[in-house]
Amino acid sequence: MAVSQAVKVRRDGIIKLTDAAPISLVVTYEDGNFSANTLGPDEDRVVIRDRGNIVGLRKGDDQVGTLSFSVHFREFTNAGSSVLLDWINGTQAGSALASTGGAGFEQFLCTVTMEIEGTDLGDNADGSAIFAKVLLTADFSEGDPDVLNVQGEVYGGVTYTGQS
């Protein structure tokens, strides 16, 4: 398969949150500033030395990855409809969500998918990065517009879909 010739831009992306049920929420009114530092296996590096000389390199502990994005603030909570902050806090309509963490994970975790349009741009398939077991937190900033800044800690790694 040939490598895509279409450069992707923020208009091509969609962020989606999914729980274990699966119930999903497409994130809307976002800035298009999704960022992730977890794009592959990321373990600590253990340097093996013999009297100060480097003689080997081993894999150490897995690292916790991070991701972030911002959305234009619309409401803190909604008893009848899922809103982003309800998903993050597990409140109101978000309280029925099922964590993707499973046994051993106490906090509510979800899957965060960053989908990138490709077929409309001549690619054979759309692409996505799927971040598993993500703990989301948020902070609020007042301004024009008000903003929710969302941070995620990635405990389950990342997988990719796309052209094959």
Structure-token pair, residue 82: 């899922």
- What is the per-residue burial (b if ≥16 Cβ within 10 Å, else e) of 76-108? eeeeeebbbbbbbbeebbbeebebbbeeeeeeb
**pLDDT 10s digits, 4-31:** 777 778 888 899 999 998 889 999 998 8
Residue 40 pLDDT more than 80? no
What is the predicted pLDDT for the residue at 7? Answer: 75
According to the model, what pLDDT value does residue 163 have? Answer: 63
The model's pLDDT over 49-103, given as tens digits with 9 standing for 90+, comes to: 999 999 999 999 988 999 999 999 999 988 888 899 988 987 767 778 889 999 9
What value does the mean pLDDT take over residues 30-59? 90
* Tens digits of residue pLDDT in 122-150: 777 788 999 999 999 999 999 999 999 99
Instruction: Tell me the per-residue pLDDT of 107-118, one tens digit each, with 9 for 90 and over.
Output: 999 999 999 887
Q: Are 44 and 61 in contact (CB under 8 A)?
A: yes
- Quote the pLDDT of residue 27: 94
In whole angstroms, give the CA distance from residue 127 to residue 106: 31
23-47: average pLDDT: 87
